[in-house]
Amino acid sequence: MNGKPGPVIAVDAMGGDHAPREIVAGALMAQADGFGRVILVGDRARIEPHLRGADVEIAHAPEVVPMNAAPSQAVRGAERSSLGVAVELVRNGRAAAVVSAGSSGAFLAVALIRLRTIAGIARPAIATVLPTPKGPVILLDAGANVDCKPEWLVQFGIMGSAYAQAVLGMPSPRVAIVSIGEEKGKGNAQVIEAAELLESAPLNFVGNAEGRDVFSGRADVLVADGFVGNVMLKLVEAESIALQNAIRDALLSSGPDVQLGALLTRRAFAKLKRQMHYETYGGAPLLGLRGNCIVAHGRSNRTAIRNAVRVAATEAREDVVGKIGALVAPLVGAATRA
């Protein structure tokens, strides 16, 4: 860290499968590591037993949004829920970002109503950072918008490019649109029209990419509608787990020589696991809103929450919202002149 005080991050302490224990522990780790100052939002009586004497602010919220709650229900109860109060802290300027491992649908609905979208952005998108052996790849939308207009896909590309530059340090991220072939003109009507629009957008557009290009290194940002993006995300997660289990089972069922080899290479395997595991990247930014929102995995442990707070702090410090607004501004101006 550079010695300057970090931004204030509101953490929904009651959202997620392991709340509040793991959420509180991860938030405290992030604060101790100097990423910023956290405000834990939720039921004070349930949070305090996990503090272990730590000096941290608590914003009391008596209710929790259930994981299966309808978005409309989450919005109606926002004034009393931990998620709603956490988002409100960003809205009123008390926090620079919000992190939640609760219902992503509820998070999207509450944040959209409370924070609104950046001028020129029609819909926010979930940008998931996919760990690959060749470095991180951003996939968006990962599930917020199942049906999309071609111009929305252009906005997703712009938002993903801004995030890659600001948070991942990529000077000129390569943006591609997911299709059924790399050749120009491949894909359905939506993809073909979006690709044409992306060619003239203010970003480094490299054309079409296939599903296999998640791991090929062809692009840094992959654009898709929320239906395709979410299917890709779930497939990548499942394949990663299946591959880890297959390697483990193969090693355990092999002879002593193979097991000895595995023992000698365990550090390399551990490094690869850290590089490829979702908890290393913490959470998925919900881009396009007038506030920094990080959607953490529902199964997040303390390490994942720590890293989600780190990502939230970086996004706030690097002004991702402002950078997206600046990149979208020419498009807004062109639409106004038209």
- Count of domains observed in the chain: 2
Distance from C-alpha of 29 to C-alpha of 285, rounded to nearest angstrom: 20
pTM of the predicted structure, to 2 decimals:
0.83
User: Residue 118: which residues within 8 A CB-CB, separation 6 or more?
Assistant: 288, 289, 290, 321, 324, 325, 328
Query: What domain range is 16 assigned to?
Result: 1-121+288-338
* Closest listed residue to residue 121, CA positions, set 326, 306, 316, 273: 326
Contact 317, 170 (CB under 8 A): no
The predicted model gives 132-155 an average pLDDT of 90
145 and 270 co-located in one domain: yes
Mean pLDDT of 60-74: 89
Choose one of 278, 297, 321: the last residue of a domain.
Answer: 278
- For residues 146 and 223, membership in a common domain is answered with yes
Question: Are 171 and 191 members of one domain?
Answer: yes
Whether 25 and 140 map to the same domain: the answer is no
| Band (3; pLDDT cuts 50, 70, 90) | low
- 278, 304, 321 - which closes a domain: 278
Higher-confidence residue: 72 or 242?
72
For residues 141 and 304, the answer to whether their CB atoms sit within 8 Å is no
Which 3 state secondary structure label does DSSP give 213? helix
- Read off the pLDDT of residues 177-209 as tens digits, 9 standing for 90 and up: 999 998 888 999 999 999 999 998 889 999 999
Q: Any idea what the CATH number is for the domain that residue 159 is in? A: 3.40.718.10
Which residue pairs, CB below 8 angstroms and at least 24 apart, start in 255-262? none
- Please check whether residues 107 and 35 belong to one and the same domain: yes
For residue 283, tell me if it sits in a domain: no
Taking the C-alpha atoms of residue 4 and residue 1, their distance in angstroms, rounded to an integer, is 8
**Torsion sign across C-alpha atoms 198, 204, 209, 211:** negative
Question: Are 110 and 146 found together in one domain?
Answer: no
